[in-house]
Amino acid sequence: MLCSSSLALLLPPASSPSLLSFRRLSRLRASPLPAAVKLSPPLRSYGVYLNGALQDEENVGNVKKLLARVFELSLQATVPDETDVEPIVTASTVGRFGDYQCNNAMGLFSKLKGKGGGQFRGPPAVGQAIMKNLPQTEMIESCFVAGPGFVNVVLSNKWMAKSILKMLLDGIDTWAPKLSIKRAVVDFSSPNIAKEMHVGHLRSTIIGDTIARMLEFSHVDVLRRNHVGDWGTQFGMLIEHLFEKFPNIEAVNETAIGDLQAFYKASKQRFDDDSEFKERAQKAVVRLQGGEKRYRDAWAQICAISRREFDSVYKRLKVELEEKGESFYNPFIPSVIEGLTNQGLVEESEGARVIFLEGFNIPLIVVKSDGGYNYASTDLTALWYRLNEEKAEWIIYVTDVGQQQHFEMVFKAAKIAGWLPTEANKYPRTSHVGFGLVLGEDGKRFRTRSTEVVRLVDLLDEAKSRSKAVLEEREKDKDWTKEEIDQTAEAVGYGAVKYADLKNNRLTNYTFNFDQMLSDKGNTAVYLLYAHARICSIIRKSGKDVEELKKTGVLSLEHQDERVLGLHLLRFSEIVEEACTNLLPNILCEYLYNLSENFSKFYSNCQVIGSAEETSRLLLCEATAMVMRKCFFLLGITPVYKI
């Protein structure tokens, strides 16, 4: 439908003098500004003019942003009186509408009409004008207006090839997104001391790590915070039980305690069954909070044992975290609550001190009726600390969706207190990254037959041993060393667990299924890791030194499947930015899967080794492998190079 009224217009070649030839934009070499383009100052958001040259290094690799800059100039020339029109550029989802499109015409037309006029007959005419006013750039091969004024852009093959070659030479980090913030806190994993680290914490660890990695890649300084539950009334019973079982607490260690979760259960049993014990436990909390040495030491012992268990999971998953548990914020709570009280936010209610928030049917309790602090007091204080002491501009919390309301209330209180701006998307800001449940085959909460809860270590062990068995079945142990088998089994096994978690929209529940996640078919880490290894083996088999080819070779995208693959590679930066700013790792997974599909298509239709285009195609293979590896890296997956 949109296509019927489309009109193709080829922009003149960059070198030919033409009315449309305003200046070459994309590589941003200095040339005088053409008189025809009146830039209404200030040139906003996308780059600046310095000594007459548009500085563009900012957005290298981000095609969408590069195009947005070009369209911004065109919009300024088209409607010089409209100073606040942001270019709307999106990737086209349907091939016949070009590679990208600018969607400003419709909105702009209504805006002009609303102001009682404008020289345009309708949105398509606005589209035509935007197209005609496009400065000349080597990025664009051709443009056409479709339907109600979409300006569709076909990128130049030559420019695409050149950009990919430049990335090959300069490295993929030159394609990293540029975000406007400097520092972020990602609060993730955050298990509770002496309680089991369950699959929910596994999800938080995997999703949080990926978000942290994407932000770090985008040059944000990320504080990776493990907000462990290391404070609270449960420590009273744990400590008392510890004293009962081990009168000499110096002798206590993991082996003595054995299973910390069983220990927790036993303490709870004592607490519920024996009122005298209960009383002692309650007193122990007060003595711990009062800082009494014996109690502090016992608490520290229990934390240390848990920590060792958590660390072994992090080590396996290669996840870095810095622990700043709930106890860390404890000393700051009174003054934060006092500040909020002075602002008139805190009220008395049924003996507790609370903040009433519009839109919520329960208040946020900040001091319990017994005078103690709770989860919310700690989270408010941690937020205050992160904003004021750590100067974080974006604070991201990764927990199951069940905690959504808690975070919404904390964020709202912070807005009322004036800690955060009330407008969405303004910094500093907070985001809750919620995720759904992990389900078993039976569709119920994931459990194993033998134990009530699934131990993470056992899960990882099984993933590894299953992938090891496959490697042995394929007789890899004949050619590979023991280490190679082991490392590959780990990369594949742990990668599979991570990818199965990340590939779905995080808000949906997902079913944990080893057979599915370890299958080498379909959208799995195994399939993707194998695809990468296959590309590496093509390059190896060519016998060519790819580093040398990068320096001397030429890349071209003549064949349709080469072009589709090349365009997909060029979308990497904008996809990472999208996944990162929307906090949705599944967007990156989908990109990676499609990349591998596009590669397969290219490889089955374009001969690489021994063809006339061998050099160019090897370079395309290498670029694909590089982008895949960066995706793996961002997803926390270790790539494999042979299969």
Query: Given the rule CB under 6 A, which residues bind ligand ARG?
Result: 187, 190-192, 227, 229, 379, 382, 397, 399
Least CB distance from residue 227 to ligand ARG, whole Å? Answer: 4
Least CB distance from residue 576 to ligand ARG, whole Å? Answer: 25
Alpha carbons 303 and 257: distance in angstroms, whole number: 13
Q: Which is nearer to ligand ARG, 227 or 571 (CB)?
A: 227
- Residue 622 corresponds to which amino acid? E
Q: Which is nearer to ligand ARG, 187 or 577 (CB)?
A: 187
Least CB distance from residue 24 to ligand ARG, whole Å? Answer: 50
Phi-psi region of 211 (alpha: psi -120 to 50; beta: other; left: phi over 0): alpha
Q: Which is nearer to ligand ARG, 207 or 627 (CB)?
A: 207
Q: Which is nearer to ligand ARG, 382 or 592 (CB)?
A: 382
Residues 6+ apart with CB under 8 A from 82: 75, 108, 111, 112
CB 596 within 8 A of CB 628: yes
Rounded (10°) CA dihedral 176, 180, 182, 185: -90
Alpha carbons 398 and 435: distance in angstroms, whole number: 8
Residue with nearest beta carbon to ligand ARG: 190
Structure tokens at 520: 């080498």
Q: Which is nearer to ligand ARG, 140 or 376 (CB)?
A: 376
Please give the DSSP secondary-structure letter assigned to residue 251. G
Q: Which residues of 612-627 are buried (b: 16+ CB within 10 A; e: fewer)?
A: ebbbbbbbbbbbbbbb
Q: Which is nearer to ligand ARG, 380 or 637 (CB)?
A: 380
List, in sequence order, the alpha helices (H) in 231-292.
234-245, 254-257, 260-273, 275-289
Least CB distance from residue 409 to ligand ARG, whole Å? Answer: 12
CA atoms within 13 A on the CB side of 158: 9
Least CB distance from residue 99 to ligand ARG, whole Å? Answer: 42
CB 213 within 8 A of CB 629: no
Phi-psi region of 197 (alpha: psi -120 to 50; beta: other; left: phi over 0): beta
The overall longest dimension of the chain from CA atoms, in Å, is: 94
Least CB distance from residue 537 to ligand ARG, whole Å? Answer: 43
Least CB distance from residue 451 to ligand ARG, whole Å? Answer: 19
Q: Which is nearer to ligand ARG, 183 or 476 (CB)?
A: 183
Q: Which is nearer to ligand ARG, 197 or 496 (CB)?
A: 197
Q: Which is nearer to ligand ARG, 128 or 378 (CB)?
A: 378
Least CB distance from residue 33 to ligand ARG, whole Å? Answer: 51
Least CB distance from residue 393 to ligand ARG, whole Å? Answer: 17
Least CB distance from residue 396 to ligand ARG, whole Å? Answer: 10
Alpha carbons 262 and 429: distance in angstroms, whole number: 40
Q: Which residues of 42-63 are buried (b: 16+ CB within 10 A; e: fewer)?
A: eeeebbeeeeebbebeebbbbb
Least CB distance from residue 355 to ligand ARG, whole Å? Answer: 17
Least CB distance from residue 502 to ligand ARG, whole Å? Answer: 19
Q: Which is nearer to ligand ARG, 191 or 493 (CB)?
A: 191
Per the listing, tokens 């449940």 go with 437
Tell whether the torsion through CA atoms of 502, 504, 506 and 511 is positive or negative. Answer: negative
List, in sequence order, the alpha helices (H) in 31-144.
63-78, 105-114, 123-132
Cα of first residue to Cα of last residue in the chain, in angstroms, is 47
Helix orientation angle between 614-634 and 525-542, rounded to the nearest 10 degrees: 150
Give the sheet arrangement for strand 89-91, strand by strand.
7-10, 140-146, 150-155, 100-102, 89-91
Residues 6+ apart with CB under 8 A from 130: 71, 74, 75, 78, 102, 104, 105, 151
Q: Which is nearer to ligand ARG, 310 or 397 (CB)?
A: 397
CB 575 within 8 A of CB 588: yes
Q: Which is nearer to ligand ARG, 122 or 402 (CB)?
A: 402
Neighbours of 362 (CB within 10 A): 10
Least CB distance from residue 394 to ligand ARG, whole Å? Answer: 15
DSSP, collapsed to helix, strand or coil, labels residue 79 as coil
Alpha carbons 47 and 56: distance in angstroms, whole number: 6
Phi-psi region of 196 (alpha: psi -120 to 50; beta: other; left: phi over 0): beta
Q: Which is nearer to ligand ARG, 225 or 468 (CB)?
A: 225
Least CB distance from residue 619 to ligand ARG, whole Å? Answer: 45
Q: Which is nearer to ligand ARG, 191 or 495 (CB)?
A: 191
CB 356 within 8 A of CB 363: yes
Least CB distance from residue 268 to ligand ARG, whole Å? Answer: 17
Q: Which is nearer to ligand ARG, 127 or 191 (CB)?
A: 191
CB 438 within 8 A of CB 199: yes
Per the listing, tokens 């709307």 go with 88
Q: Which is nearer to ligand ARG, 136 or 381 (CB)?
A: 381
Least CB distance from residue 204 to ligand ARG, whole Å? Answer: 7
